[in-house]
C-alpha cells in the first residue's frame, strides 16, 4: 500500500506539472472551457496532498497521520475565515451568509481545531529513537535508558538488537522501509551508527544492491564486497563510502580488473582481462589505461 501511495503521489505530481503548463492535455473529462489550471490544481493537488499524508501514516504512525490531518484542517479553517470575511459567499457556511455568522462558526471550528491539536500532542510518543520517527520501544531498560536487548519500531521501520545507554551498540538489525526504497542493515553497531562487520541491502522497487564487509560511522570503510543492481561485483578496500585502494571488479559480461581504485574508478596500477581474452595491464588514470 505504501508503494502504491508513493507512486500515486509521483504520478499526481507529474500530471500537476504538465497540467499547470497545458491544462487541456490533462483535464480530459471536462468541457474545453472548464479545462483550467484551477481545475488541475484542485484535482491533482488534492491527490498529491492526500497520497503523501496517507503515506506518512503507513510509513510512520497513525497518530502522526492524525496530527498532519488536524494541521491541514486548521490551515483550511484559517484560510476560509479570512476569505469569508472578505467575500462571505465564497466559503462553506450554515445559515445566512453574513460576516457575523462566519465569525461565530469559524471561531467554534478554530476552538475545535486547537482542542484536537492538544489531544494529538498529548498522545504523541516521545522521540526515543533519532533514526526511527515516532518509534515504540519494547525491551530492556537501565536507569531510564534503552539498555540490553530491545526493539524500536514504527509502522514501516524497525531496529532489533543490542542497546547501551539509549544507543545502538553491539549486534542488531535495522530496516528502513520508505515504500519505493528500503535499506536493511544486519551487523555491528557503535554509538548509534553502523560500525564493524555487517551486511547492507538496498532495494529500489525490484532492484537490489548488496554490500557485505566493514563499515565505520555509517560509511563503507575497510574491506568489503559490493554487488550492484546489474550483478557487477567489486571486492576490496573501501574509504569514504567508495572503492579506494586495492580491489577486484568482476562485470556480468565477463570482464575483470584487479588493481588499484580511486572513488569507483580504476586509478593506479592494475590488470584488466576482457571477456575475449585480451589483457590490459599498466597504469590507469580515471578509468583509462595510459601505459
**Minimum mean pLDDT range among 58-67, 131-140, 147-156, 282-291:** 58-67
> Distance from first CA to last CA of the chain, Å, rounded?
55
The answer to the question of residue 176 being in a domain is yes
Pair (146, 63) in one structural domain: no
Boundary (domain end) residue, out of 92, 123, 154: 123
- Rounded to an integer, the average pLDDT of 228-252 is 96
The confidence score (pLDDT) of residue 220 equals 97
**What is the total count of domains within the chain?**
2
Boundary (domain end) residue, out of 98, 123, 148: 123
Pair (199, 274) in one structural domain: yes
Supply the range of the domain harboring residue 45. Answer: 2-123
Pair (81, 205) in one structural domain: no
The answer to the question of residue 61 being in a domain is yes
| pLDDT above 70: percentage of residues in the chain | 95
Pair (112, 141) in one structural domain: no
**Minimum mean pLDDT range among 60-69, 108-117, 149-158, 211-220:** 60-69
Name the pLDDT band for 237 (thresholds 50, 70, 90). Answer: very high
**Minimum mean pLDDT range among 30-34, 141-145, 178-182, 278-282:** 30-34
The answer to the question of residue 105 being in a domain is yes
Report the mean per-residue pLDDT for the chain. Answer: 87
Q: 181-190 and 288-289 as β-strands: parallel, antiparallel, unpaired?
A: unpaired
- Rounded to an integer, the average pLDDT of 53-61 is 77
**Three-class SS of 218-273:** CEEEEEEEEECCCCCEEEEEEECCEEEEEEEEECCCCCEEEEEEECCEEEEEEEEE
Amino acid at each position: 500500500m505504501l508503494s502504491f501511495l508513493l507512486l500515486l503521489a509521483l504520478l499526481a505530481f507529474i500530471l500537476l506539472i504538465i497540467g499547470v503548463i497545458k491544462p487541456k492535455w490533462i483535464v480530459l473529462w471536462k468541457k474545453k472551457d472548464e479545462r483550467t489550471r484551477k481545475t488541475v490544481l484542485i484535482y491533482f493537488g488534492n491527490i498529491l496532498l492526500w497520497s503523501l499524508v496517507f503515506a506518512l501514516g503507513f510509513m510512520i504512525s497513525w497518530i502522526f497521520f492524525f496530527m498532519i490531518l488536524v494541521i491541514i484542517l486548521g490551515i483550511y479553517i484559517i484560510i476560509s475565515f479570512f476569505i469569508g470575511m472578505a467575500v462571505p459567499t465564497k466559503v462553506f457556511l450554515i445559515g445566512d451568509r453574513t460576516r457575523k455568522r462566519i465569525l461565530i462558526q469559524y471561531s467554534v471550528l478554530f476552538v475545535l481545531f486547537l482542542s484536537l491539536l492538544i489531544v494529538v500532542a498529548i498522545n504523541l510518543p516521545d522521540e526515543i529513537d533519532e533514526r526511527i520517527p515516532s518509534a515504540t520501544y519494547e525491551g530492556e531498560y537501565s536507569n531510564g535508558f534503552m539498555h540490553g536487548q530491545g526493539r524500536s519500531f514504527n509502522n514501516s521501520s524497525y531496529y532489533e538488537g543490542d542497546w547501551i545507554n539509549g544507543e545502538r551498540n553491539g549486534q542488531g538489525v535495522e530496516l528502513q522501509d520508505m515504500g519505493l526504497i528500503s535499506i536493511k542493515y544486519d551487523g555491528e553497531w557503535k554509538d548509534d551508527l553502523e560500525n564493524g562487520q555487517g551486511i547492507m541491502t538496498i532495494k529500489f522497487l525490484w532492484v537490489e544492491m548488496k554490500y557485505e564487509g566493514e563499515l565505520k560511522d555509517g560509511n563503507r570503510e575497510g574491506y568489503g564486497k559490493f554487488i550492484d543492481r546489474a550483478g557487477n561485483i567489486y571486492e576490496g578496500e573501501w574509504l569514504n563510502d567508495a572503492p579506494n585502494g586495492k580491489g577486484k571488479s568482476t562485470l556480468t559480461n565477463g570482464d575483470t580488473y584487479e588493481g588499484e581504485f580511486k572513488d569507483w574508478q580504476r586509478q593506479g596500477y592494475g590488470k584488466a582481462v576482457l571477456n575475449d581474452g585480451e589483457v590490459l595491464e599498466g597504469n590507469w588514470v580515471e578509468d583509462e589505461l595510459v601505459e
